[in-house]
Amino acid sequence: MQLDASSHGVYLHIPFCSKRCDYCAFATFTDRHHLTGEYLRAMRIHINMVVAQRMIPATSVFVGGGTPSMVPAEELVAVIRDIPLAPNAEVTVECNPDNITLEMMRTYREGGVNRISIGVQSTVPHVLAALGRTHDPENVRRSVAYVREAGFTTFNLDIIYGAAGETLADWKTTVSDVVALDPPHVSAYGLTVEANTPLATQPERHPDNDDQADKYELVDDVFASNGLVNYEISNWAKSGHECKHNYLYWLQGNYDGFGCAAHAHKDGRRWWNVRTPDRYIEMVNAGEIPESSSETLDSETRKFEALQLLVRVRDGVPTDALSVQDREMMSDLVAQVGDRLVLTRAGRLMANEVSLRLRVNA
């Protein structure tokens, strides 16, 4: 997949959560719900400040968090409606299965949302507990039914493998339960240990690499046999249901970010907003752009980063991104398809090793 010159994304960050998961390092808050109304109003002000200056119609919008489905659906839709949209724009909202109602899904659908992403993580209760998740697995089935009844034709389910105490049989149960729901798209992530999280302070709960490799191979086999094709290391989709917004990130597209801690990118310059909702509201209401900091990549760094991202996706990288010697040495990790090098399944498990040997050519 290639980006059209008009491709432009928008990310909206909703930082509110009822409980912070043990592995989460995002800017989320369990004690700021009283700010919800002010925060959403500040987002609308910020969006309109940027629209007045330069914002082009968005080809994709992604509402993440936090838990976007915790805020009133009508108010969230009002924020989305302030964003100029290109024809056939993809508009995704992340949801917790405990929060989803049929009325909410209908409000989203009528408000222009056309894709839902549900945080399943696991369908095994003791694994959910090990992740610090609280939802009832039965709510996942109910949520998918509501999504379909509201008229959504595409949606994603997120799952995570490698939690403490999760056996291969547990993971197979989750994968089987997910496949039974016939999703058009699934993201399956290996649990990672992020600094400054409860998980980071408990080494006995850290994931095992060999265990995660076994679980990756299992999920890839099951998905492949059910029409879900791997198009990025952690993402599988039926044809035509690949996530446009994710591709924007992987192909170094431009995007705006609204809300606290939201990131943005334009032609090699990246910037991010202040981290707390309180400060975000304060700055926007004062008419200030709530940028916290930024970085600008030089040409060589940007080209190398492009290769590191591209090697993860189905179409891979140009053949000369690896030396002949490295291609021979890693023949089990990369395969040549036409004039591209793509990761084998073993290569997907060792993608970081491949990335270290990529080279930028003039």
Q: What is the pLDDT of residues 96-152, one digit of tens each?
A: 999 999 999 999 999 999 999 999 999 999 999 999 887 788 999 999 999 999 999
3-state secondary structure of 339: coil
CATH number of 9-250: 3.20.20.70
CA separation, residue 273 to residues 62, 193, 261, 321 (Å): 16, 24, 5, 34
What pLDDT does 194 receive?
A: 81
- Kindly list the domain boundaries of the chain, sorted by start residue: 9-250, 300-356
Lowest-confidence segment of 16-25, 83-92, 171-180, 231-240 by average pLDDT: 16-25
Residues 6+ away with beta carbon under 8 Å from 218? 168, 171, 172, 175
CA atoms within 13 A on the CB side of 181: 29
What pLDDT does 350 receive?
A: 96
- Average model confidence (pLDDT) across the chain: 94
Model confidence over 46-99: pLDDT tens digits? 999 998 787 789 999 999 999 999 999 999 999 999 999 999 999 999 999 999
Residue 355 near residue 311, CB atoms below 8 Å = yes
Please state the separation of Cα 332 from the chain's center in Å: 29
> What is the bridge-based pairing of β-strands 115-121 and 85-95?
parallel
Place of tokens 């993971």: 171
